[in-house]
Structure 1
Amino acid sequence: MTGHAQDHHHQDGHRDPPSFPIQEGRAIWGFLLAFLAYWLSHRFVYLENDPGALARASARGERVEWSSFDKFYIQAPALFLQPSNHEELIGILREAAASNQTVKVVGSGHSWAPIGLTDGVMLNLDKFNKILSIDASAKSVTVQAGIRIRDLSAALAAHDPPLALRNTGVLDRQSLAGALATGTHGTGIRYKIMSADVVALELVTAGGNVLRGSRRDPDPAMRDMFEAAVLHLGALGVLTEVSMEVVEAFSVIKRNRLLPLNTVLSTLPALAAGVDHLLVWFIPYTGTAQLVESLRIPPTKVPPTHDWGDSRKHCQNSGSTSGDEASAAQSGSSMLSLTYNKVVASLRSFSASLLLFSRPWLGVLQLRLLSAAGSFSSLFPVTYVPFWNRQVVAPALHLFAWGESFYPQGHRGIVLDDHPDCYREAEWFLPLESFNAAITAFITFLDSRRGKIGANFVVQIRVTHADDLWLSPFRREQGPQNNSHDNTGRDKTLSDSISWFVSVATLVKGFDSDPYLRAAEREVWIPNGGRPHWGKLHYLAYHELSALYGEPFEKYLRVRRRLDPQDMFMNSHLRELFFERAVR
């Protein structure tokens, strides 16, 4: 597997765009402008909805607008309602059914797919946020489904004895119901998606009926309802209550390091097997990857000393400069460039000494730098994407990609300290045996469109254990499907390669994402057997999805038609996914 990390004159005869007048050290100026761009976008654009305020305004008869987290989707529903109990919810659903209105439930709005949009009745379940019971001996928790993941994690950590969710995604501000509905996952070959930890649930249907089902329900109809509702895309009813397996609390130690991209890709199985959680980031056209590796340890408040094996050798050999910085220094570049590289090296050394104690604010700084750099690069024509990736975006990502950190409350070490805002994202899941062919095709795809697509932001790689859920992108028909974990959530035995998947997420900031993401879907992910994330961007419809999921997909649709015969919980996006029609 090869890339063109340092090659500026390519075999197909084209060259990168000419350099700007400031030949060296230009990333310094880019950072200054990027900070300004980020501050403006974060100050005036990235503002979360206030569901309570929207509900109060709607009750007064005012027109309200709800928006997704990145303000890409803005919807003005006929009503925005926030029920506080089952009676109110059932009354709303029955009234909507009588007036033939569509109903959709929204939480934090952190989705790139328009699953929650409607011009009918929009519901928010923030008041369904109670913890109903915690059973430490059975390691289970029952909660109302509108609770935010961060609040649930905090309550479990405060319990005596402390507990934790087995795994979460990289964000924790979503509602639990929304995370389950879209198949939210974390990373780690020993850990399944969040929906796999659900053991029982409660669903209120379009007719106001309250259904309860479990994984081992003796009633086949309720067992099928459970199987469909555990990952339901908001198309069955309103999820109001969830019982989940939890684990004993744990602490997390984490380290960041840089390695050549080809090294990471060729050794990914070994890297993933050596830690509990693995996150890989790389910027197209730079040839360098950042690894974020995490280990779970018994809970402690004292930062431990941990031997990462040969990792320090890797760090020492790779030095503190990226490939482009090293080549610039070796080629006798200007004094400004050499000074810049020394500054970067000093900052990395300083940040490495602080990471163990101050990782949260350094993590926020790194991700905000990255977000700002992506915004800045999108101000220029797409032909300059490879140039800015090397000079601005990658340095922003790698500046603090060094050192170790410690999280006494382990759930804080699983999620990111902050998250880039206002970007578009597609994510595809590939069986491990397909990954090498797929990632090779993706690198070739990027090189063939160098300077033609807006590949100006992070490509993120994670790994996840397989499951047997009907609509899970990680579904496997064979291989181990148990949920056998020890007290830290680790599988008692490391599963073989057929039981885990690799996810590749491609992010775009500022540019029109469609040409990039649609072409990659058609030329890379679909030919290699990929399945898309339900909550992110993809362009598949019923026929393609039915072929990908087979009989479980049809089982889900049969349950959906039984529970919602009037299609009250459907919208135009879900009709594309679930209604048979002519092939496009």
Structure 2
Amino acid sequence: MTRPFVNWSGGLSFTPAEWAEPADEDEVSALVRRARENGTTIRPVGSGHSSSPLVRTDGILLGLNRLAGVLSDDGERATAWAGTTLRALGEGLYDAGLAMDNLGDVDYQSIAGATATGTHGTGLGFGNLSTQLTGVRLVTGTGETLDVTADREPGLLPAVALSLGALGVVTRVTLDVQPRYELHRRSWCAHLDWTLDHLAELQHTNRNMDFYWYPRSDRTQIRVINRVDGAHHLSTSRTPGGEPRQSQVGPTHRTIPRHRELRFEEIEYMLPSEAFAVCFAEVRRRIHDRHRRVAGWRVLVRTIAPDDIWLSNAYGRPTTTIACLQNTSLPYEEYFRDMEAVFRHHGGRPHWGKKHWLGARELRPLYPRWDDFQAVRRRLDPDGVFLTPDLARLLAEP
């Protein structure tokens, strides 16, 4: 069957030649083998939250929504189908008395899509979601099923943990988990100058901390999250006006993500943390001088711990992210391209699942293990079954 695909924001749409929704791994393998024999491409898709064209194909679009649910757990690790949404994964783990270490800002995504694109939350001690993976099962470009863990094919785990869907169709993932716990989320508003003056303190004295900046008012919304049973505890004397204006207590998956009704486009770059202050100052100046008329939405600042995943945007360095959001009814390209120039000047790496205009020529110098990833890609997908024109542009493959 076929039908048009439209992503979450509505900014990406296309009609594949075929839309397949396999119910098990055997069906996935059969689809990959058929695509290989016919010389066509096949691309996996999760919830469609990403705004980049990673899933676009004129061949087979392989939906993962039927491969959903938590399969097993042993108290320290849990295995789930790749198409499980973060919301459903959180509920399934909670029912088993477990929780993930950290989550991103939305729970609409599938776990495989989130890890494949480097989705992240915030907190100096937390890597992106891919760092929680201890095992991945995928169907390679030859139709074979491959299990990658720290004990089996360990050299491949840093490649498959964040793969852009270029190495195969991920069918299940295994995650580090821990006993479930409660979080206390608080937020309040302050002027941007106050927020920047207290930023390091807020980041170091809270488990999770981020802030939104509203350019037209120069106000921010600060958000901090701490374990109810933990040592982190923000003193209300550090907040302008005393008590935070919003407060919520609950499990991880109900406290960290937020429900999103309004649809938006987004560009986000991951910066070396030492470059954040200078970069953000330039972003602020340019938005005020050039884009205040159209920049009606917010700018989000978060942190990510360094990791060793080859295509991770936080590879090898403490990372601070800047994301510019724009309502889908408003123009964004001129604004985003100008911000991208600032981010690139300060050594930023683009979020794989969001808007950017870089190709392989610009991307390769940003990732020390780029060529190692390419070698694995050619090994696992020798005939380019997953290599659409968009992915080929990113990876400089014919």
TM-score normalised over the length of structure 1: 0.65
CA displacement at 1:429 relative to structure 2: 1.0
Residues 311 and 534 of structure 1: CA distance in aligned 2, closer, same or farther (over 3 Å): farther
Q: What is the distance in 1 between the residues matched to 2:105 and 2:154?
A: 30
Match of 1:436 among 277, 282, 287: 277
Q: Secondary structure at the match of 1:190?
A: coil
CA deviations on 1:492-512 (whole Å, 9 max, x unpaired) are xxxxxxx63211100112222
Aligned residues: 396
| Equivalent residue number for residue 235 of structure 2 | 309
The secondary structure found in structure 2 opposite 1:429 is: strand
Partner of 2:147: 212
Match of residue 301, structure 2, among 447, 457, 461: 461
Change (3 A) 1:525 1:243: same
1:188 touches 1:272 (CA, 8 Å); kept in 2? Answer: yes
Which of 508, 527, 539 in structure 1 is aligned with 2:326?
508
The answer as to 2:337 corresponding to 1:518 is yes
- Distance in 2 between residues matched to 1:307 and 1:435, nearest whole Å: 25
CA positional deviation for 1:169 = 0.9
Shift of 1:580: 5.9
1:149 corresponds in structure 2 to 86
Match of 2:249 in 1: 406
Distance 2:8 2:397 in 1: 31
- Cα deviations across residues 279-334 of structure 1 (Å, max 9, x unaligned)? 201111312111011111249xxxxxx97414476224xxxxxxxxxxxxxxxxxx
Matches within 5 A, 1:184-583: 184-217=119-152, 222-298=153-229, 308-311=234-237, 314-316=240-242, 402-407=245-250, 409-416=251-258, 418-451=259-292, 454-476=294-316, 500-509=318-327, 510-522=329-341, 524-550=342-368, 552-579=369-396
Cα distance in 2 between the residues matched to 1:313 and 1:121: 52
Give yes or no for the alignment of 1:72 onto 2:11.
yes
**Contact 1:257/1:315 (CA < 8 Å) preserved in 2?**
no
Cα offset, 1:226, TM superposition:
2.3
**Letter in structure 1 aligned against 2:272:** P
In structure 2, what is the Cα distance between the partners aligned to 1:224 and 1:423? 38
Q: What is the deviation of 1:448?
A: 2.3
Deviations 1:6-58 (A, max 9, x none): xxxxxxxxxxxxxxxxxxxxxxxxxxxxxxxxxxxxxxxxxxxxxxxxxxxx1
**Contact 1:258–1:315 (CA under 8 A) maintained in structure 2:** no
Distance 1:580 1:93 in 2: 20
SS at match of 1:525: helix
**Which consecutive unaligned segments of at least 5 residues does structure 1 have?**
1-57, 300-305, 317-351, 353-400, 477-498
Cα deviation, residue 434, structure 1:
0.6
Shift of 1:468: 1.1
Share of identical aligned residues, percent? 31
Kept in 1, the 8 Å contact 2:82–2:111? The answer is yes
Amino acid at match of 2:91: A
Do structure 1's residue 92 and structure 2's residue 31 form an aligned pair? yes
Alignment CA distance shift 1:580-1:85 (3 Å)? closer
| Structure with greater Cα Rg | 1
Q: For structure 2, which runs of at least 5 residues remain unmatched after alignment?
A: none
- CA deviations on 1:377-413 (whole Å, 9 max, x unpaired) are xxxxxxxxxxxxxxxxxxxxxxxx8232222x23211
On the 8 A contact 1:543/1:580 being kept in 2, the answer is no
Which whole-Å CA distance do the structure 1 matches of 2:88 and 2:213 have between them? 31
Q: How many angstroms does 1:223 deviate by?
A: 2.9
Query: How many Å apart are 1:216 and its aligned residue?
Result: 4.3
Equivalent position SS for 1:126 = coil
Amino acid at match of 1:172: D
Matched, 1:179 2:179: no
CA spacing shift, 1:313–1:428, aligned 2, 3 Å: closer
Give the distance between the partners of 2:239 and 2:205, measured in 1 at CA.
Answer: 16
1:151 alignment partner AA? A
The separation in 2 between residues aligned to 1:531 and 1:108, in whole angstroms, is 24
User: Residues 69 and 89 of structure 2 are in contact (CA less than 8 Å); yes or no, is this contact kept in structure 1?
Assistant: no
Paired with 2:233 and 2:45, the residues of 1 have a C-alpha distance of: 44
Deviations, residues 259-290 of structure 1 (Å, cap 9, x unaligned):
11012123212111111111201111312111
User: 1:281 and 1:412, CA in 2 relative to 1: closer, same or farther beyond 3 A?
Assistant: same
1:470–1:169: structure 2 CA closer, same or farther, 3 Å change rule? same
Distance 1:466 1:70, change over 3 A: same
The separation in 2 between residues aligned to 1:313 and 1:512, in whole angstroms, is: 35
Give 2:73's aligned residue.
134
User: Could you tell me whether the CA contact under 8 Å between 1:429 and 1:504 is conserved in 2?
Assistant: yes
CA distance in 2, matches of 1:270, 1:193: 22
- In the superposition, relative to structure 1, how do residues 311 and 413 fare at CA in structure 2: closer, same or farther (>3 Å)? farther
* Alpha-carbon separation, structure 1, partners of 2:286 and 2:131: 34
Whose helix fraction is larger, Structure 1's or Structure 2's? 1
1:332 matched residue in structure 2: none
Q: Could you list the per-position Cα deviations for residues 75-100 of structure 1 after superposition, in whole angstroms to 9, with x for gaps in the alignment?
A: 21111111111221111111111111
The structure-2 alpha-carbon separation of the partners of 1:307 and 1:196, relative to structure 1 and needing over 3 Å to count, comes to closer
The aligned amino acid for 1:309 is: S
Q: Does the CA contact (< 8 Å) of 2:310 and 2:370 recur in 1? A: yes
Give the residue type in structure 1 aligned to 2:130. Answer: S
Q: CA deviation at 1:201?
A: 1.3
Alignment partners' CA distance in 1, 2:137 and 2:377: 15
SS in structure 2 at match of 1:212: strand
